[in-house]
Structure 1
Amino acid sequence: MTRFLRPFLLLLLVSTPLAAQDHAHSDHEASLGAVTVIHAWTRATAQGGDAVVFFEIENAGEPVVLSGAEASNSASVEVVGATMGADGVMAYQPVGEFQLPSGEFDFDPNGLGLRLNDLTAELKQGDHFPLHLLIGGGELQISVEVEASDAVAHSHAGHSH
């Protein structure tokens, strides 16, 4: 009988780190119905400032409306789009509700994002905080990772794909 338990115990020991890695990655993705949000991130920002959150979306269903979001660390949250000003500086303007198309779509620094207005606390690199997306008739809680103040993308530090 011991001979039969050894392979099972070896399999259990070898698979444990993979299970732990999957659990850690689950903080980077959340789903509501057919919509999955992956790798939400923002830049480190001082208290009182604004921060824009970016993420990837996979929508396996029909288009659905993202009407906004709520965060306990800001006065308000709004859907914004990047525009280049006459002075050559990128700025974000409110766009209102946004229809998430079917398929894959990115909220990225050169396009759309969710702006957290008037932060109540500093966002420090390495921190995480919850953000509640208002999608269709539901609410999806995601975890937002704080990157460096000059980040241009989610770093994927600490996990691999």
Structure 2
Amino acid sequence: MTEEKVVAIKTMNSSGLTTMNTYNYMATEARGEQNVGYSVVDHLNFCLRLRMEQIEARDSQTLVNILNQEQSEDSNFCFRVKFDNEGRISNIFWRDSMMLEDCRIYGDVLVFDTTYRTNQYNLICAPFVGINNHWHNCMFACAFIGDEKTKSFVWLLETFKKVMEDKTPTSIFTD
């Protein structure tokens, strides 16, 4: 990716254009996808890195402050944060005392389904949900992960098991 293309993509992203709109623009300017000079996957990965860079120190600190406040108010509140090689938050997981209690009681069946990067930081929301005795959803935990790689899911599921007192669901429904 040339420096000119990097600047153009950053400008379009900061203007609010979607990742695919920026790629389509680059393809139009180059007179076809075959002339862009890189693949759509390269473009998607580059835009993902741009979004992760937008999680500035103050945003991360604000998040940690909120989680610490929750922990001071709820002795069973638990959160885990994983950082990437550059010290930015890559994954974050939390659950409170009610989530823990619901999981203890109704945690035999777990529904786990991730969203597709619908927040401003392009993170994937990963809620852990169950169903109580009134057939209502109950949240056992929630997380945001930076990617859908095996390593992230291993970290996430191991963290879930550990903070849920090693309770293992009998059944897991997922996509």
Same fold (TM over 0.5): no
Q: Name which structure has the greater RCO, CA cutoff 8 Å, separation 6+.
A: 1
**Counting helix residues as a fraction of each chain, which structure ranks higher?**
2
- Structure with higher strand content: 1
